[in-house]
Amino acid sequence: MSSAPTHWVLTLVCVDQPGIVHAVSGAIVAAHGNITESQQFASADTGRFFMRLQVEASAAREEFEAALAPVVARFGLEWRLDVVGRPTKTLILASKASHVVGDLLYRTRSGHLSLDVPLVLANHPDLAELVGFYGVPFESMPVTDAASKAAFEQRVLDEVEKHGVELVVLARYMQILSPELCEALSGRAINIHHSFLPGFKGANPYRQAHARGVKLIGATAHFVTSDLDEGPIIEQNVVRVDHTATPAQLMATGQDEESRTLRQAVKWFSEHRVLLDGARTIIFR
């Protein structure tokens, strides 16, 4: 009755057509909601309309949903209603590299990221101590052949199911996921990799980047698809380097960018700021 208002985040997607904003804002008026943040985008590429709203309302979830129901029906809305700040259930996949895992756990502990991490699952045992340091469960399962890979991936699916995982982060996991797993996690698995201008194929890209004398080193966070390193881009960063940097220093610089970029992508995802528009992302920063 007299409960304090809840801060809701509402995201919605539909075919672009006149009247959507009018109808959605009407539903919010009906739910006695106060819009505190609103962003929208109409995609000329796919003809779809995207909207993200933050709304303060003392309406219960059912009331809010009831007010939205006719709009959902009329415009064929895909929508999601959540409470601002609720921790996102996040499964982290890792390998040997500690920098991105350490950064995610440090940022979660300090409150910068609102994540609930039930497990860090790795294909090597190296990170057990680091992860334990942050009080997060850790397990490792070797991935050495098709059978162990299948077992690992089944375990991922089991954990996703068991904990109601909303986001899977490949924190330098370094293994190619099977097309089946990519499909199962579509739109809720994020990967990070280094990025260069120009791009370099093959092994040891930092050595190649050094050989060409690149002046910028970067990283890209993207959704996982079966096309390796080619999923929809969520965030990218670069930093300046110069001729004095050794390949090892370039790698250290690149790893910092990986941590920073993945952390940003995860933060936006957990705040429902990342919407998919075909091969592109809409980021309501």
**What is the set of active-site residues?**
229
Closer residue to its own copies (CB): 149 or 222:
222
Closer residue to its own copies (CB): 4 or 22:
22
Q: How far is the CB of 167 from its own copies (least distance, A)?
A: 19
Whole-number Å distance between alpha carbons of 262 and 90 = 13
Closer residue to its own copies (CB): 179 or 199:
199
Q: How far is the CB of 284 from its own copies (least distance, A)?
A: 9
Site residues, its own copies (CB under 8 A): 18-19, 21-22, 25-26, 28-29, 32-42, 44-45, 98-99, 102, 106, 110, 195-199, 210-216, 218, 220, 229-230, 232-238, 242-244, 246, 277, 279-283, 285
Q: How far is the CB of 115 from its own copies (least distance, A)?
A: 17
Closer residue to its own copies (CB): 153 or 235:
235
